[in-house]
Amino acid sequence: MIYIGIDLGGTKIAAGITDDQGQILAEASTATIAERHYKDVVRDMASCALQALEQSGKLIDDVDSIGVGIPGVAENEGGTVIFCTNLGWHDIPLREELQKYINKPVFIDNDATVAALAENVAGVSKNAHSSIFLTLGTGVGGGIIMDGKPWTGAHGVATELGHITMEIDGIPCTCGKNGCLERYCSATALIRMGREQARLPPDSLMMARAGSEENINGKLIIDCAREGDPIAVKVFERYTKYLAIAVNTMISFFDPEMIVLGGGISMAGDFLLDAVKEKIPQYLMYKTLPYGKLELAVLGNGAGIIGAAMLGRVLKEGGTL
Amino acid sequence: MIYIGIDLGGTKIAAGITDDQGQILAEASTATIAERHYKDVVRDMASCALQALEQSGKLIDDVDSIGVGIPGVAENEGGTVIFCTNLGWHDIPLREELQKYINKPVFIDNDATVAALAENVAGVSKNAHSSIFLTLGTGVGGGIIMDGKPWTGAHGVATELGHITMEIDGIPCTCGKNGCLERYCSATALIRMGREQARLPPDSLMMARAGSEENINGKLIIDCAREGDPIAVKVFERYTKYLAIAVNTMISFFDPEMIVLGGGISMAGDFLLDAVKEKIPQYLMYKTLPYGKLELAVLGNGAGIIGAAMLGRVLKEGGTL
């Protein structure tokens, strides 16, 4: 059998066909144009999927199921999107609408969960019995995979790892709370820290390169830290300290076999990984016992399609764990 | 079949016989005398168990297995206690030693995990597919039960919920880290907050009752708060705020069907439960979606025996989840 995976983003719809190991056979994409009526977006999701199917040379009868990764919260029993803030979606009957075009079983899950599943099926955490995936992007998303299946909680609101409290009464978060992990571990947080420090005399290499504060981005901060600029190093050390504490929270709570870092910041590669790994031991509860491996995600943008496609394969066997 | 459950504490060994539903048929106890050689402690564990067996009127052939709850970390494959700080135990072959007296399968787990299992088999979270148990005592312990089985992680170091970070660079913890949840949500934390506030003029009802600061304990603080003393109310509100944030961390991370509060502080009953429940909504990520029920543990001290006894029943089917 083959599987359709659709990665629904705020700006782009990407659809692909995979085999049962999550290998992408063909893909197609189009702009989301989020301000449209949801039915128009879903029609384009279906048409991208059918275009990819045609390119793959396979037939609709070969398709087992359709999976969709969304930047929001879904409810798989009814096949609805509960919300999707970027798209302005609220209680959208996505399965029903998509099945008007392609009459196959439809599975929907959060994009970070989908990326976690992709790494578990075809990426760095392949065969790990339990893994936690953290996306370090504009925000921080999370996914938990246990025994090959996503864990999304008893009410579908689990793995909002970006919104666990890291600092009581800390920095206000976009979610309305204070001190969320996301405010310390996202790319946005790194940039905030960089801009704060770049202002301090003596002007840093970051400031010299960027010209002005608003041009300082995550890559620039990491590049300057890599080159040894003291202010950038200080910012990077602070960021990776927070990340090490966050990883330790994952260990002390759940102790997965592997923790995978994905998202934009993970592009810093071993420079990031080594800095975090070095700091973890000081935050461990049991300093002499083994703990989960920390690794970088390997699938990049393909994770959205692969993980979505694999939802059908892993969930058809009996729902979420 | 019947099951032997042994609750190994720093001061007391309690052993009991239960049926397969976790009902205690007989029990016996003795002092631990932690400073003895471990072999002497284990001999007394076995003799308590055999005494309870005799009282139950059952025979050794009726015994399915032995479970032991320990205040530390165990490793079930080899049947060893990795550590147990209170007892000064380190890499103790508990299964092997116990089987010298009673030759039945032996299962060992952390006491908070065991209490979590007890509530899941015979207490308030009976039949919940997923539950998290928090003990609010001298420290904060945690247990996760999924699909009827304890989740102790890929390396046995999960559910150290007392030692996830709640405040970066916060109050130093006995574990060597800073800002651990335990420093804000344990009985010890409540007492610390009470003593700090009791010093402030005007002297509080707590101080009038206690006579001196060192006599202020958790029960006294809660009693004074219940009676409306403004300083005690302030302390209790602060404590329950931290607890609500901690509960929200459990929800945002894991979203269990139920969260159960046990340990000494949970004896405050509905006064505690209502204060925490009232505060949870403001910390939720998804304010309009359902989330796990918060409940008080119901099994009290019996949980140690019941949960230990049930380890064999739930783990014999195939190890931890």
% chain B with pLDDT above 90: 88
Local confidence band at A321 (pLDDT 50, 70, 90 cut-offs): very low
**Rounded distance between C-alpha atoms, residue A46 and residue B195, angstroms:** 64
What pLDDT is recorded for position A85?
A: 83
Put simply, the chain B residues between 79 and 138 with a CB less than 8 A from any chain A CB are: 82-83, 129-130
Which distant-in-sequence residues (6+ apart) come within 8 Å of B234 by Cβ? Answer: B197
Local confidence band at B318 (pLDDT 50, 70, 90 cut-offs): low
CATH assignment at residue A161: 3.30.420.40
Task: Write out the two tokens for B293.
Answer: 């029920």
* Beta-carbon separation of B321 and A147 below 8 A: yes
Nearest chain A CA: its distance from B302 CA (Å): 25
What pLDDT is recorded for position A319?
A: 47
In a domain, A274, yes or no: yes
Local confidence band at B321 (pLDDT 50, 70, 90 cut-offs): very low
Nearest chain B CA: its distance from A130 CA (Å): 7
Check if B320 contacts A (Cβ < 8 Å). Answer: no
Write the pLDDT tens digit of every residue in A112-128. 999 999 999 999 999 89
**Rounded distance between C-alpha atoms, residue B70 and residue B62, angstroms:** 24
Nearest chain A CA: its distance from B141 CA (Å): 11
A10 and A114, same structural domain? yes
Check if B20 contacts A (Cβ < 8 Å). Answer: no
Task: Write out the two tokens for A290.
Answer: 């083994």
What pLDDT is recorded for position B77?
A: 86
Q: Max Cα separation, chain A?
A: 66
**Rounded distance between C-alpha atoms, residue B48 and residue B15, angstroms:** 6
**Pairing mode, if any, of strands A258-262 and A293-296?**
parallel
Check if A175 contacts B (Cβ < 8 Å). Answer: yes
Domain enclosing residue B276, as ranges? 125-296
Local confidence band at B204 (pLDDT 50, 70, 90 cut-offs): confident
A136 and A269, same structural domain? yes
B181 and B260, same structural domain? yes
Instruction: Burial-class residue B203 by CB neighbours within 10 Å (0-12, 13-18, 19+).
Output: exposed
In a domain, A321, yes or no: no
Contacts of A184 in chain B (CB under 8 A): 168
Contacts of B143 in chain A (CB under 8 A): none
* Beta-carbon separation of A289 and B73 below 8 A: yes
Check if A31 contacts B (Cβ < 8 Å). Answer: no
Of the candidates B130, B157, B321, the beta carbon closest to that of A286 is on B157
Nearest chain B CA: its distance from A153 CA (Å): 5
Interchain CB contacts (distance < 8 Å): A and B: 143
In a domain, B321, yes or no: no
Omega prior to B202 cis, within 30 of 0? yes
In a domain, B279, yes or no: yes
In a domain, B320, yes or no: no
What pLDDT is recorded for position A200?
A: 77
A214 and A99, same structural domain? no
* Beta-carbon separation of A242 and B165 below 8 A: no
Which of A130, A133, A165 has its CA nearest to residue A245?
A: A165
Of the candidates A157, A168, A290, the beta carbon closest to that of B155 is on A290
Of the candidates B82, B255, B321, the beta carbon closest to that of A153 is on B255
Q: Are A41 and A34 in contact (CB under 8 A)?
A: yes
Q: Outline where B28-154 has alpha helix (H).
A: 38-56, 94-99, 111-122
Which distant-in-sequence residues (6+ apart) come within 8 Å of B300 by Cβ? Answer: none
Of the candidates A73, A177, A283, the beta carbon closest to that of B177 is on A283
* Beta-carbon separation of B164 and A130 below 8 A: no
Q: Is pLDDT of A179 > 60? A: yes
The DSSP element (H or E) to which A109 belongs, if any, is: strand A106-110
Check if A254 contacts B (Cβ < 8 Å). Answer: yes
What pLDDT is recorded for position B200?
A: 77
> Residue A130 phi/psi, 5° resolution?
-140, 135
The reported pTM is 0.94
Within 10 angstroms of residue A214's Cβ, the number of other Cβ atoms is 9
In a domain, A216, yes or no: yes
**Rounded distance between C-alpha atoms, residue B105 and residue B246, angstroms:** 36
In a domain, A79, yes or no: yes
Domain count, chain B: 2
Q: Is pLDDT of B258 > 60? A: yes
B288 and B194, same structural domain? yes
Provide the mean pLDDT of chain B. 94
Secondary-structure breakdown of chain A: helix, strand, coil percentages, each rounded to the nearest 5: 45, 25, 30
What pLDDT is recorded for position A77?
A: 85
> How large is the average pLDDT for residues B24-38?
96
- Residue length, chain A? 321
Contacts of B152 in chain A (CB under 8 A): 255
Interface test with A, best of B110, B157, B184, B240 (most A CBs within 10 A): B157
**Rounded distance between C-alpha atoms, residue B213 and residue B215, angstroms:** 5
Question: Which segment, A34-43, A84-93, B207-216, is predicted with the most confidence on average?
Answer: A34-43
Which of B216, B190, B208 has its CA nearest to residue B268?
A: B190
B147 and B111, same structural domain? no
B154 and B115, same structural domain? no
The DSSP element (H or E) to which B212 belongs, if any, is: none
Task: Find, in chain A, the residue whose alpha carbon is nearest to that of B321.
Answer: A147
> Residue A124 phi/psi, 5° resolution?
-70, -30
What are the beta bridge partners of residue A84? A89
Check if A75 contacts B (Cβ < 8 Å). Answer: no
SS in 3 state form for A122-173?
HCCCCCCCEEEEEEECCCEEEEEEECCEEECCCCCCCCCHHHCECECCCCEC
Contacts of A175 in chain B (CB under 8 A): 285
What pLDDT is recorded for position A23?
A: 97
Nearest chain B CA: its distance from A204 CA (Å): 26
Helix/strand/coil for B306: helix
Check if A318 contacts B (Cβ < 8 Å). Answer: no
> How large is the average pLDDT for residues A136-157?
95
CA A200 distance to own-chain centroid: 33
Q: Are A8 and A297 in contact (CB under 8 A)?
A: no
Nearest chain B CA: its distance from A259 CA (Å): 12
B138 and B13, same structural domain? no
Q: Are A8 and A49 in contact (CB under 8 A)?
A: no
Angle between helices A230-254 and A187-198 (to 10 degrees): 150
A115 and A76, same structural domain? yes
Residue type, B56: S
Which of B192, B229, B195 has its CA nearest to residue B211?
A: B195
Which of B301, B308, B297, B313 has its CA nearest to residue B109?
A: B308
Local confidence band at A11 (pLDDT 50, 70, 90 cut-offs): very high
What pLDDT is recorded for position B320?
A: 46
B222 and B74, same structural domain? no
What pLDDT is recorded for position A283?
A: 92
* Beta-carbon separation of A289 and B155 below 8 A: yes
**Rounded distance between C-alpha atoms, residue B111 and residue B242, angstroms:** 23
In a domain, A272, yes or no: yes
B135 and B97, same structural domain? no
Write the pLDDT tens digit of every residue in B35-90. 999 999 999 999 999 999 999 999 999 999 999 999 999 988 889 999 898 899 99
Contacts of B245 in chain A (CB under 8 A): 165, 168
**Rounded distance between C-alpha atoms, residue B146 and residue A198, angstroms:** 47
Local confidence band at A317 (pLDDT 50, 70, 90 cut-offs): low
Check if B240 contacts A (Cβ < 8 Å). Answer: no
Local confidence band at B113 (pLDDT 50, 70, 90 cut-offs): very high
What does DSSP assign to residue B15? E
Which of B234, B250, B239, B236 has its CA nearest to residue B283?
A: B250
Task: Write out the two tokens for B22.
Answer: 């976790």
Check if A255 contacts B (Cβ < 8 Å). Answer: yes
B181 and B50, same structural domain? no
**Rounded distance between C-alpha atoms, residue B45 and residue B28, angstroms:** 10
Write the pLDDT tens digit of every residue in A216-243. 999 999 999 999 999 999 999 999 999 9
Which distant-in-sequence residues (6+ apart) come within 8 Å of B13 by Cβ? Answer: B6, B7, B29, B30, B31, B32, B41, B44, B45, B48
Of the candidates A154, A253, A283, the beta carbon closest to that of B257 is on A154
Q: Is pLDDT of A109 > 90? A: yes
Task: Find, in chain B, the residue whose alpha carbon is nearest to that of A75.
Answer: B289
Of the candidates A146, A159, A255, the beta carbon closest to that of B157 is on A255
Q: Please give the ipTM for the structure prediction.
A: 0.93
Check if A245 contacts B (Cβ < 8 Å). Answer: yes
Local confidence band at B196 (pLDDT 50, 70, 90 cut-offs): very high
Interface test with A, best of B164, B240, B295 (most A CBs within 10 A): B164
* Beta-carbon separation of A165 and B291 below 8 A: no
Nearest chain A CA: its distance from B301 CA (Å): 25
Q: Are A303 and A115 in contact (CB under 8 A)?
A: yes
